[in-house]
Amino acid sequence: MGKHSLQRESRLPNSVKGALVMGAVAASTGAMPAIPAMAATINLPGIGDFDVPVPQEFEQQAQDLGQQLTQALASMPAAPAPQTAPDAGVPNVPGFFTPGVPQMFHHNTASDVALDAAKSKVGAMYSWGASGPYNFDCSGLVQWAYKQAGIELPRTSFEQSHVGAPVAFENLQPGDIVVTNGGGHVGLYAGDGKLLNAVQSGEPVSYTPLRPDMVVTARRMV
């Protein structure tokens, strides 16, 4: 007997189940006695036990009818399983993660990645000609930081002053490359009027103030 058929019928209220069995007994006997001589227990697997009042001479017939009813219920076709739309519980709202849907917001640009990489090196000591990962000179820090973003920059501050697109001081954004000191120094704009850079020998990578009159050129990688 299929388990799924019994589970399906188990949803019937007990009053209905009892009525089915009682009806079957009444059909075979013609009428139910007003005062039964005894109660016959009929077990319907997956449904339960029922005490059916019947005269003693009809006890076996009631049990036989119960078995026939169980077999009839088992032969009924199974109800189809409910269909659920894929990912029905996940709201497809912009800004929320939805499986298989590319994110439209909260992405990092190469400048963001480069600046975050440079921030991780605050405190590393300056060393002329070094380009990381433990020591840096000014252009070595900028080159290493953008390499972490997948962009290869030339090695010197003069060469880096020609990469990307020029940016006016008032339009600077975090991660832009800023060349100062007549072209001999370079760092990354960190926002709030500060430059993140490897300053000079004997000093660590740090933030220093940035004024408009200090800037030779500013470049943005696009």
Residue 153 corresponds to which tokens in the numbers above?
A: 């920059």
149 in Cβ contact with 162 (< 8 Å)? no
pLDDT in tens, 84-109: 444 444 344 333 333 333 333 345 89
180, 164 contact by CB (below 8 A): no
The predicted structure's pLDDT at residue 53: 61
Domains of the chain: 3-74 (no CATH), 110-220 (3.90.1720.10)
Give CA–CA dist 145/96, Å, rounded: 30
Give, in degrees to the nearest 5, the angle at Cα 51 between 56 and 44.
110
Instruction: Tell whether the torsion through CA atoms of 196, 198, 204 and 210 is positive or negative.
Output: negative
Kindly state the DSSP code that residue 131 receives in the 8-state scheme: B
Q: What is the pLDDT along the chain (222 residues), one digit of tens a residue?
A: 444 434 444 444 454 444 444 444 444 444 444 444 556 666 666 666 666 665 655 667 767 776 776 676 667 666 665 554 444 443 443 333 333 333 333 458 999 999 999 999 999 999 999 999 999 999 999 999 999 999 999 999 999 999 999 999 999 999 999 999 999 999 999 999 999 999 999 999 999 999 999 999 999 998
CA 91/CA 73 separation, integer angstroms: 41
Supply 78's token pair. Answer: 């199974």
